Amino acid sequence: MNLPAINSAGEAVRLITDRFNEAGMDSARLDARVLIASALEITTTRLFSHPETPVSETQRELMGRFVERRLRHEPVARILGEREFWSLNFKIDASTLVPRPDSETLVEAVLARTVNHDANLSILDMGTGSGCLILALLSELTSATGLGIDINPQAVIKARENATALNLDQRVQFKHSDWFASLAGNDAQRFDIIVSNPPYIPEAEIAGLEPDVSAFDPMIALSGGEDGLQAYRNLLPPMAARIVDGGLVALEIGWKQAAQVTELGERFGLKLDAVVDDLAGRNRAVIFRTERPRKIS
């Protein structure tokens, strides 16, 4: 998109905010500020405090490309190729979901139930994507080690890159696998904590999602089959077999799925610890333990 001549950052904010408002976009001013700050290679704080910051022709052209993409409903995080999660920065691409604040509910729930954050724990993350869940946990559980698994090899590459950038690569491995297939033949391997944000949206509902999601998130990370529960049916039996006594299995869920996922987990010998709500008050995570609970320490 060709933007008119812009002399300063403040002018850019006003112009681009107006374009986003005209398109009926939520958080128009915030999106404008984030994209403009990135084009100018400054922080949003400096953008706010120094609206007189000059804009070069190259920067104006970059802003135009950003605006064009955002008007097609591409999420800001995808335009910039990164998103903050748990106060950590994660690189993303077309192979990964955009890490969302709702998923921090799962991280917080696991940490609240882990007594000793310095213990030598083992963590498994199924469908790791960008690695945001397992890397957020490893950043807090300082002696833990982890394994993240994803069916998309490009997502595995991105998760490794994020681990290296966060200086956590010495404590985590990432593997390309269809769920537990890569662990076949290693029946002795058990984990203290297993987490997953699996695909849980019923197929018929995907087309009705916001275009920021339906048009840009990888379909394999969204579709949970006809009823949204297929991934839980696939995951819960091997999770129950791979978790240590008293360990935690923490699953992100759709906000109407708590009862069904709880029933599936209990069918395979897991004991419900809690259903945890997100900041909007909606069910967001189901936490299980084994039938013989013990404190992780």
Domain end point (choices 72, 104, 124)? 72
Using DSSP, state whether 262 is helix, strand or coil: helix
CB within 8 A of 161, min separation 6: which ones?
91
CATH number at residue 113: 3.40.50.150
Q: Give the pLDDT of residue 147.
A: 97
Q: Give the pLDDT of residue 294.
A: 45
In the chain, the number of structural domains is 2
**Together in a domain, 18 and 135:** no
Question: What residues are paired with 287 via a beta bridge?
Answer: 250, 274
**Together in a domain, 196 and 68:** no
Does the residue 272 lie in any domain?
yes
d(CA 192, CA 242): 9
The two tokens of residue 128 are 């790791």
Does the residue 68 lie in any domain?
yes
Does the residue 156 lie in any domain?
yes
- Lookup result for tokens 């395979």: 268
**Together in a domain, 120 and 161:** yes
Does the residue 1 lie in any domain?
no
Q: Give the pLDDT of residue 293.
A: 46
Does the residue 84 lie in any domain?
no
**Together in a domain, 56 and 158:** no
Q: Where are the alpha helices (DSSP H) in the chain?
A: 9-22, 28-40, 44-49, 57-71, 76-80, 104-112, 132-140, 153-165, 203-206, 211-214, 230-242, 258-267
pLDDT tens for the chain, 297 residues: list them.
678 788 899 999 999 999 999 999 889 999 999 999 999 999 999 999 999 999 999 999 999 999 999 999 999 999 999 999 999 999 999 999 999 999 999 999 999 999 999 999 999 999 999 999 999 999 999 999 999 999 999 999 999 999 999 999 999 999 999 998 888 777 778 999 999 999 999 888 888 888 888 888 888 888 888 899 999 999 999 999 999 998 999 999 998 999 999 999 999 989 999 999 998 999 999 999 986 544 444
Strands 172-176 and 122-126: unpaired
Does the residue 40 lie in any domain?
yes
Does the residue 86 lie in any domain?
no
Q: What is the pTM of this model?
A: 0.90
**Together in a domain, 236 and 269:** yes
d(CA 54, CA 6): 8
**Together in a domain, 66 and 148:** no
Domain extent, residue 127, equals: 94-290
**Together in a domain, 265 and 180:** yes
Q: Give the pLDDT of residue 295.
A: 46
**Together in a domain, 28 and 99:** no
Using DSSP, state whether 208 is helix, strand or coil: coil
**Together in a domain, 45 and 173:** no
